[in-house]
Structure 1
Amino acid sequence: MGAKYEQPNLKLPSEYRGGFESNGDSALFSVKWREFFNDPYLVGLIDSALANNFDMRIALKNIEIANRNLRINKSEYLPSVDANIGTVNKQYRSKDFYSSASSKWYDQKGEKAPESLFTYQSQFSSGLSFSWELDVWGRIANEGDILKADWLNTQETRNAVQTKLIADIASGYFNLLKLDAQIEVAKRNLSLNDSTLRMIKLQFDAGEITALALQQTESQRLLAASMIPELEKDIVIQENALRILIGEMPNAIERADSLSNTLVNFDEQNISLGSPLEIIRRRPDIKAAEYDVIAANADMNIQQIMRYPQLSLSGVFGVNSMLPKNWFNIPGALLGGIAGELTTPIFKNKKLKNIYEVAKIDREKEELNFQRTVMEAVSEVSNTITTVDKQKEQLDLSNQRVANSQLAVKNALLLFKSGYATYLEVITAQSNALKSELDLLEIKQKQLNSYVSLYRALGGGWD
């Protein structure tokens, strides 16, 4: 009874829109995360996170719960049996009650039945009872489909947590390396400013320049010096954030010495991005969205089944007596019975129909959500491909800018010593050099993050 699930038409394009073509044989999404990252410190952090991160551990507990629910569903195909170890039932009535005392009870006791609070009924029983619903229309089977979809959903949730966790750790680790590099740039620039300040002081003492030149040079030096404690603060905060991700108390993080593209295995010429169809089989969020549709489809079937007749069997076997002394008198106290029940709803004020229609609409809603998730995933991959390509161009331009600004600082100092440049030109050149080097490190970090984002967007990182 009900409709079988069929995957909707997703109208996928044949290829991604992006800024570069990949013609390699190795699919990026199929690369294991241990092979994608080259840095042993980063791999160690990820290993610790997968074992100790609280979100990962919660996801595993959810999988255990879903697995237990599946076992419960399988047992519903079997009859349920209950044991009545012992029941004592005594009811008392008085003369105004529309009945009379049980003469048998008082005759056996050799007593006269009273008029008030006489024993009206007395039972002592033990036995076994069972009930069994026959799954004629497949209600239990459809409930099993819902629970199976939930179980698979928890698996994909765990995979999604892992891919996000790996990406977050990689991003934080790259940020830490960037901060290390930036603090080195700041210290180097501070040393350069110290040299310039000493030179300016000599010229001021010789009366060749004004006090304004000395003050502006000192301000430039203080600006470079103030960056160092700010960066040191950011380093501690980032280290603590990484420690939280790996489930440990705040502490320092061991790391590599430099920020470079060699931290990840990404070669545009030797990788394949695959097709949009493949991310449906890979991305945890897409698979989870489809399992939601499957569960909604099964629930719709259940609501349809509830409008049809239900067949069940029940029975009881045990002992029952009026007097305690005859409780286990065999065969006199034996009790047995079996019943078959076929019930069907007749008039429910259209409640069952409307519940079914709501379930049907909910299934359509989950299908729309599935289609939207697929569309957003394809768009995310396309955006990330473009980002990778354009950041490569930005990196080339930024390298040229750093080389040019460093040359400008060198020439400004030489010209200043020769009297062909002012102190303002020296300060401006040093300021531009500092900014260009810091910007270069930002772009390097963004490029590494874009590689990780593309790897994750294609469905990699969970195996």
Structure 2
Amino acid sequence: MSNVKRNKKAAGMLLMSCVLAACTSGPDYKRPELALPESWPAKQDAAAVQASSATDQWWHLYSDAVLDQLEDEALAHNADIQVAAAHVLEVRAQLGITQADQFPQVSANASQSRTKASTVGTFPLPSYIPPTQNFSHVSLDASYELDLWGKLRRATEAARADLLSAESAKKTVRLTLTTQVAQQYFTLVSLDAQVAAVKRLLASRQERLELNKLQLGVGMLSEYDLHQAEADVAAVQSQLSTLDLQRSKQETALTLLLGRSPRDVMASELHRGSPSLPVVTVPEGLPSDLLLRRPDLQDAEQRLVALNARIGVARAQYFPSISLTSYLGSESVAFSNMFTKPASIFQFAGNVTQPIFDAGRIGFQVDAAEARRDQALIQYKQAVASAFGDVRNALSAQESARQVLTYETTRSDALQQAYKQAELRYQAGIASRLELLDVERNYLQAQLNRLDAERAQRSAVADMFKALGGGWKNQDVAKAP
């Protein structure tokens, strides 16, 4: 008979545990189902796949030691990175605060007082009671809220998701920062090359101007033609000044992005390297769900997790709130008797609070929490769709930039030969000065376009890595179906 009772008692305890475990209010999170493509619609070759096997430090593909140094400096000193890191520490502390709510709170309390009452007041003390009283109190207080309905557990789940969201946001800042540093550096290198090209043209026109002055002196050239030559030199000088201003502004912007001090912003100079032109193609076997590792998508999903958990926090307000309080200590009017047995005190108490009528306040709170969750769900789905759109645009931009560079290089080479022939024709008196200037302007513009196309191709590679959330490894490609 005793065995039967013990079995019934054990079964009852097991049932109670299951009931309590099932009392966690609110829906459990489940990742939304999305219609994702199985592969990238891109043409591949072995060399491109091998070059694309990059890690998070994708900028090493450019084989530029100066760029590597600038990226390391930006990651160490940029203000946005430091703010994001501090925010992670803040959210981690908030998680600790939320987790602490699930444990009892114990505190020590001690007090000592000495008071004197009036013997001639409205209510005078009897003569046998001394007017001066001493009071000593020492206790150990404890309080604890039973989390039967999972309110505190859901709050901790939401806080943990907030921490993961903050860490993902920090990674997003890191990815954006490294992309901006690379692209601004490429722009600066391109401006340097454009300034060099304009300077070469300026030197050529200044040399021609000196020759024209000698021709004027011997009567082989009119003053009209000399003034035209001087105007041509001034036009190139004006163009060079504009490029110098653009380069100075670009250098200042990059210096600020590196997080340098105000003194360094005013005085320091940025070194330049020679970045290569990598052609990076997404491997055909790369699974499309790898894109979900993008930090901004992880941030959006963790915000969705947090808001989903806070629905449970809101729903838990429907159920009773049960709290336990207790204290254990001593009280005495004489400190010498403070720790004797007659001075000991204790109390154990329980408190149950059940909402009866609140004019629908809890219901509205639940509705608001569900509405916030639904908004985050829509934003997450839109963020995933936008991410795939970014990848598609990045792939197209890289291919387009590569083709533009090829065409502009061909055009520049052709105009270079035409310029040489026009120079010879002008010196031989076959071609006019206007014909030479026209070919010269076209050749300069072709050089500038080719240099800008190089910058665009380098930037397109950086945009692609940003769209993919960083680089990937060979084992990532092997995971594809």
TM-score (norm 2): 0.83
* 1:309 partnered with 2:326: no
Shift of 1:125: 2.4
Aligned 1:173-184 pairs, distance under 5 A: 173-184=185-196
* 1:252 partnered with 2:269: yes
Q: Indicate conservation of the 8 Å contact 2:143/2:326, yes or no.
A: yes
Task: Find the aligned partners of 1:101 and 1:77 in 2 and give their Cα distance.
Answer: 50
- Which residue in the other structure is 1:218 paired with? 230
- Which residue in the other structure is 2:3 paired with? none
Amino acid corresponding to residue 129 of structure 2 in structure 1? Q
Q: Indicate conservation of the 8 Å contact 2:54/2:472, yes or no.
A: no
RMSD: 2.9
With over 3 angstroms needed to count, the CA separation of the structure-2 counterparts of 1:23 and 1:416, relative to structure 1, is closer
- Which residue in the other structure is 1:266 paired with? 279
Q: Indicate conservation of the 8 Å contact 2:119/2:125, yes or no.
A: no
- Which residue in the other structure is 1:408 paired with? 418
Q: Give the secondary-structure state (helix, strand or coil) at the position aligned to 1:370.
A: helix
* 1:42 partnered with 2:67: yes
Shift of 1:124: 4.1
- Which residue in the other structure is 1:114 paired with? none
* 1:341 partnered with 2:336: no
Aligned match for 2:77, one of 52, 71, 77: 52
Task: Find the aligned partners of 2:120 and 2:351 in 1 and give their Cα distance.
Answer: 38
With over 3 angstroms needed to count, the CA separation of the structure-2 counterparts of 1:129 and 1:27, relative to structure 1, is farther
* 1:22 partnered with 2:39: no
With over 3 angstroms needed to count, the CA separation of the structure-2 counterparts of 1:59 and 1:344, relative to structure 1, is same
With over 3 angstroms needed to count, the CA separation of the structure-2 counterparts of 1:425 and 1:228, relative to structure 1, is same
Task: Find the aligned partners of 1:279 and 1:87 in 2 and give their Cα distance.
Answer: 65
- Which residue in the other structure is 1:278 paired with? 290
Q: Indicate conservation of the 8 Å contact 1:187/1:228, yes or no.
A: yes
* 1:108 partnered with 2:129: yes
Task: Find the aligned partners of 1:36 and 1:95 in 2 and give their Cα distance.
Answer: 94
Shift of 1:195: 3.4
Aligned match for 2:298, one of 287, 294, 299: 287
Aligned match for 2:310, one of 286, 291, 299: 299
Task: Find the aligned partners of 1:94 and 1:368 in 2 and give their Cα distance.
Answer: 75
- Which residue in the other structure is 1:139 paired with? 151
Identical pairs, percent: 26
Give CA deviations for 1:435-456 in whole Å, capped at 9, x if unaligned.
1111111111011001011011
Task: Specify every segment of 5 or more residues in structure 2 that has no aligned partner in the other structure, as ranges.
Answer: 1-24, 474-481
Q: Give the secondary-structure state (helix, strand or coil) at the position aligned to 1:315.
A: strand
Q: Indicate conservation of the 8 Å contact 2:98/2:155, yes or no.
A: yes
Shift of 1:171: 1.1
Give CA deviations for 1:112-156 in whole Å, capped at 9, x if unaligned.
xxxxxxx9x986422111100111111111111111111111211
- Which residue in the other structure is 2:455 paired with? 445
Task: Specify every segment of 5 or more residues in structure 1 that has no aligned partner in the other structure, as ranges.
Answer: 112-118
With over 3 angstroms needed to count, the CA separation of the structure-2 counterparts of 1:163 and 1:68, relative to structure 1, is same
- Which residue in the other structure is 2:404 paired with? 394
Q: Give the secondary-structure state (helix, strand or coil) at the position aligned to 1:140.
A: helix
Task: Find the aligned partners of 2:40 and 2:447 in 1 and give their Cα distance.
Answer: 34
Task: Find the aligned partners of 1:143 and 1:425 in 2 and give their Cα distance.
Answer: 78
With over 3 angstroms needed to count, the CA separation of the structure-2 counterparts of 1:291 and 1:80, relative to structure 1, is same
With over 3 angstroms needed to count, the CA separation of the structure-2 counterparts of 1:271 and 1:203, relative to structure 1, is farther
Task: Find the aligned partners of 1:90 and 1:344 in 2 and give their Cα distance.
Answer: 41
Task: Find the aligned partners of 1:124 and 1:383 in 2 and give their Cα distance.
Answer: 76
Give CA deviations for 1:406-459 in whole Å, capped at 9, x if unaligned.
222222222223333211111111111111111111111011001011011111
Amino acid corresponding to residue 313 of structure 1 in structure 2? L
Task: Find the aligned partners of 1:188 and 1:30 in 2 and give their Cα distance.
Answer: 38
Task: Find the aligned partners of 1:279 and 1:26 in 2 and give their Cα distance.
Answer: 19
Aligned 1:142-181 pairs, distance under 5 A: 142-181=154-193
Amino acid corresponding to residue 464 of structure 2 in structure 1? L
User: Which 10-residue stretch deviates more, 299-308 or 405-414?
Assistant: 405-414
With over 3 angstroms needed to count, the CA separation of the structure-2 counterparts of 1:422 and 1:30, relative to structure 1, is closer
Shift of 1:3: 0.5
User: Which 10-residue stretch deviates more, 131-140 or 354-363?
Assistant: 131-140
* 1:188 partnered with 2:210: no
With over 3 angstroms needed to count, the CA separation of the structure-2 counterparts of 1:200 and 1:455, relative to structure 1, is same
Task: Find the aligned partners of 2:394 and 2:98 in 1 and give their Cα distance.
Answer: 43
Q: Indicate conservation of the 8 Å contact 2:118/2:125, yes or no.
A: no
Shift of 1:94: 11
With over 3 angstroms needed to count, the CA separation of the structure-2 counterparts of 1:337 and 1:384, relative to structure 1, is same
Number of paired residues? Answer: 441
Q: Give the secondary-structure state (helix, strand or coil) at the position aligned to 1:306.
A: helix
- Which residue in the other structure is 2:87 paired with? 62
Shift of 1:318: 1.7
Q: Indicate conservation of the 8 Å contact 1:42/1:173, yes or no.
A: yes
Task: Find the aligned partners of 1:36 and 1:155 in 2 and give their Cα distance.
Answer: 26
- Which residue in the other structure is 2:35 paired with? 11
With over 3 angstroms needed to count, the CA separation of the structure-2 counterparts of 1:137 and 1:234, relative to structure 1, is same
Task: Find the aligned partners of 2:162 and 2:367 in 1 and give their Cα distance.
Answer: 22
Shift of 1:207: 5.0
Task: Find the aligned partners of 1:363 and 1:89 in 2 and give their Cα distance.
Answer: 57
Q: Give the secondary-structure state (helix, strand or coil) at the position aligned to 2:289.
A: helix
